[in-house]
Amino acid sequence: MALALSLGRRGMGRVWPNPNVGCVIVAGTRIVGRGRTADGGRPHAETQALAQAGEAARGATAYVTLEPCAHR
């Protein structure tokens, strides 16, 4: 979760109108995806992390600094 918080902070002041969000996806003991809300607010952190993780995201755990978003 500390890594997700750190990722989210990287967007401070640049992600309006969305909040700063960080996401880390962990499968077992391995980080398989990470992301933050991009400058301008899109894409969201979860979208970036899931794209990076690919199939490794199945059955993994997502640590997100805000409730997970269902928007694309």
8-57 pLDDT per residue, tens: 999 999 999 999 999 999 999 999 999 999 999 999 999 999 999 999 99
Question: Does residue 51 lie in a domain region?
Answer: no
Q: Could you give the angle at the alpha carbon of 24 between the alpha carbons of 18 and 26, nearest 5°?
A: 155
Active-site option among 36, 46, 53, 64: 46
Give a yes or no: residue 50 inside a domain: no
In a domain, 52, yes or no: no
Q: Does residue 70 sit within a domain?
A: no
| In a domain? residue 13 | yes
- The pLDDT value recorded for residue 71 is 65
Q: Is 67 a catalytic residue?
A: no
Q: Would you say residue 47 lies in a domain?
A: no
- Domain for residue 17, yes or no? yes
pLDDT of residue 72: 62
Is 2 contained in some domain? Answer: yes
In the block, residue with structure tokens 């979860």: 46
User: What pLDDT does residue 68 have?
Assistant: 77
Number of separate domains in the chain: 1
Domain span at residue 20? 1-26
Residue 21 phi/psi, 5° resolution?
-135, 140
